[in-house]
């Protein structure tokens, strides 16, 4: 008589190995979600996972041509994502290299500007600078801390509260820091006089060095945006992911910043807590094991 699944050692070993395999893949996926921490980018990760699952299924079904096409798509998508998310992957590899494995499971704490206070101060300062045709460049941190190595020159550390008066004073042409950018994280002015890398893309002749710098840093780093005030025309622009949105009115700038830093959007969890995730996975595994081994359901 053939042995049942419960009495076959090889079957039990195979089930254990498959469970470990699935658990490791889930843990890796969870780490990726924590590293990304941005819902817009999360859709790209989901698309890559779907492609990987489709490639694995086509291989199991012996669909040779379809598996070949999907396999190449997975490789191309992975390379594209590595370029797009280079700052996130760099942070992951740095923490992994330093042995900070526990920190990988901790979500990045976000210090976001509050629409009713900090954004008002920024918009009021930009409005005044625009009316007086004083050039300005502000870097606003979005979903996580930036690295000083992303800047050509880190600038002078300030660590001061964001205020309209402080921003206007920094960009006055008589100050030593007016030529660089101001780096803002949450409600703090972290540094001033920051020199940014310039974009290599061909830009309009109407765009000066500040606009190219705003495009350059947002091309390189995905977790920031830049607000620019033109010294020649006083026009207001905002750059994000290398794309320059211009010209803007002060009211339109406020609308864009409030939408970008909306607490309702940013407080939404991208990945669940580790303990909660573990409980969910454990309950699913128990259900599958009970069904496979035909064990009685738990009575509540």
Closest to 129 measured CA to CA, from 252, 227, 243, 261: 227
Which pLDDT does position 284 carry in this prediction? 57
pLDDT (average), residues 242-249: 90
Confidence at residue 123, expressed as pLDDT on a 0 to 100 scale: 94
Beta bridge mates, 141: 224
Range with the poorest average pLDDT among 20-24, 61-65, 113-117, 239-243: 113-117
Judge whether 171 and 210 are in contact, CB under 8 Å: no
Task: Domains for the chain: give ranges and CATH numbers.
Answer: 10-107+273-293 (no CATH), 118-264 (3.40.1700.10)
Give the SS3 label for residue 197. coil
Whose CA is closest to 84, among 51, 47, 130, 137?
A: 47
Q: Where are the alpha helices (DSSP H) in 61-196?
A: 64-84, 86-97, 101-104, 118-131, 164-170
Residue 236: beta bridge partners?
A: 229, 248
55 or 28: which carries more pLDDT confidence? Answer: 55
Please tell me the predicted confidence (pLDDT) of residue 136.
Answer: 95
Q: What's the CA gap between 122 and 271, in Å, rounded? A: 31
More confident site: 280 or 272: 280
115: three-class secondary structure by DSSP? coil
The Cβ of residue 129 has, within 10 Å, a number of other Cβ atoms equal to 24
For 219, residues 6+ apart whose C-beta sits below 8 A from its C-beta are 199, 201, 241, 242
State how far the Cα of 37 lies from the Cα of 35, in Å rounded to an integer: 6
CA dist., res. 264 & res. 169, Å (int): 33
pLDDT confidence bin for 291, thresholds 50/70/90: low
The helix/strand/coil state of 228 is: strand
Residue 111 pLDDT: 46
pLDDT grade for 162, boundaries at 50, 70 and 90: very high
More confident residue, 86 or 269: 86
Cα(52)–Cα(272) distance, integer angstroms: 23
Mean pLDDT value across residues 143-169: 88
Q: Which of 22-31, 43-52, 85-94 has the highest mean pLDDT?
A: 43-52
Is residue 266 predicted with pLDDT exceeding 60? no
> Per-residue pLDDT for 242 more than 90?
no
pLDDT reported for residue 269: 43
Distance CA 26, CA 281 (A): 9
pLDDT at 137: 95
Say what the pLDDT of residue 157 is: 92
Predicted confidence (pLDDT) at residue 267 exceeds the cutoff of 60? no
pLDDT of residue 272: 47
In this prediction, residues 54-65 reach a mean pLDDT of 86
Cα separation, 161 vs 158, whole angstroms: 9
User: Where would I find the H helices in 114-270?
Assistant: 118-131, 164-170, 209-220, 250-260, 263-266
Q: Which of 122, 174, 179 is nearest to 155 (CA)?
A: 179
Top-confidence residue, 27 or 72? 72
pLDDT digits (tens, 9 = 90+) for 212-230: 999 999 988 878 899 999 9
Evaluate if residue 127 carries a pLDDT over 90.
yes
**How far is residue 216's CA from residue 198's CA, in Å, rounded to a whole number?**
5
DSSP string, 27-69: HHHHHHHHHH--HHHHHHHHHHHHHHHHHHHHHHTT-HHHHHH
CB 114 within 8 A of CB 43: no
pLDDT at 264 over 50: no
């Amino acid at each position: 008589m053939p042995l049942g699944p419960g009495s076959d050692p090889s079957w039990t070993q195979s089930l254990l190995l498959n469970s470990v395999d699935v658990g490791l893949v889930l843990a890796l996926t969870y780490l990726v979600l924590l590293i990304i921490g941005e819902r817009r980018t999360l859709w790209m990760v989901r698309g890559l996972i779907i492609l990987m699952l489709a490639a694995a299924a086509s291989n199991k079904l012996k669909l040779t041509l379809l598996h070949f096409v999907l396999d190449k798509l997975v490789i191309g998508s992975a390379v594209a994502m590595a370029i797009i998310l280079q700052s996130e992957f760099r942070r992951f590899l740095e923490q992994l290299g330093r042995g900070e494995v526990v920190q990988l499971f901790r979500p990045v704490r976000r210090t976001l500007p509050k629409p009713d206070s900090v954004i008002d101060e920024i918009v009021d300062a930009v409005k005044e600078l625009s009316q007086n045709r004083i050039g300005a460049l502000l870097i606003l941190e979005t979903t996580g801390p930036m690295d000083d190595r992303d800047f050509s020159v880190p600038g002078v550390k300030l660590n001061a509260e964001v205020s309209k008066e402080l921003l206007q004073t920094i960009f006055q042409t008589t100050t030593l820091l007016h030529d660089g950018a101001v780096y803002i994280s949450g409600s703090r002015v972290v540094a001033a006089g920051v020199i940014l890398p310039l974009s290599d893309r061909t830009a309009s002749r109407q765009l000066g060095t500040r606009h190219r710098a705003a495009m350059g840093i947002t091309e390189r780093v995905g977790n920031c945006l830049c607000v620019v005030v033109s010294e020649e025309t006083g026009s207001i622009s905002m750059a994000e992911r290398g794309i320059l949105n211009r010209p803007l009115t002060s009211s339109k700038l406020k609308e864009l910043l409030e939408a970008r830093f909306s607490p309702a959007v940013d407080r939404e969890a991208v990945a669940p807590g580790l303990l909660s995730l573990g409980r969910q996975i454990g309950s699913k595994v128990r259900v599958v094991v009970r069904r496979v081994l035909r064990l009685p359901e738990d009575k509540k």
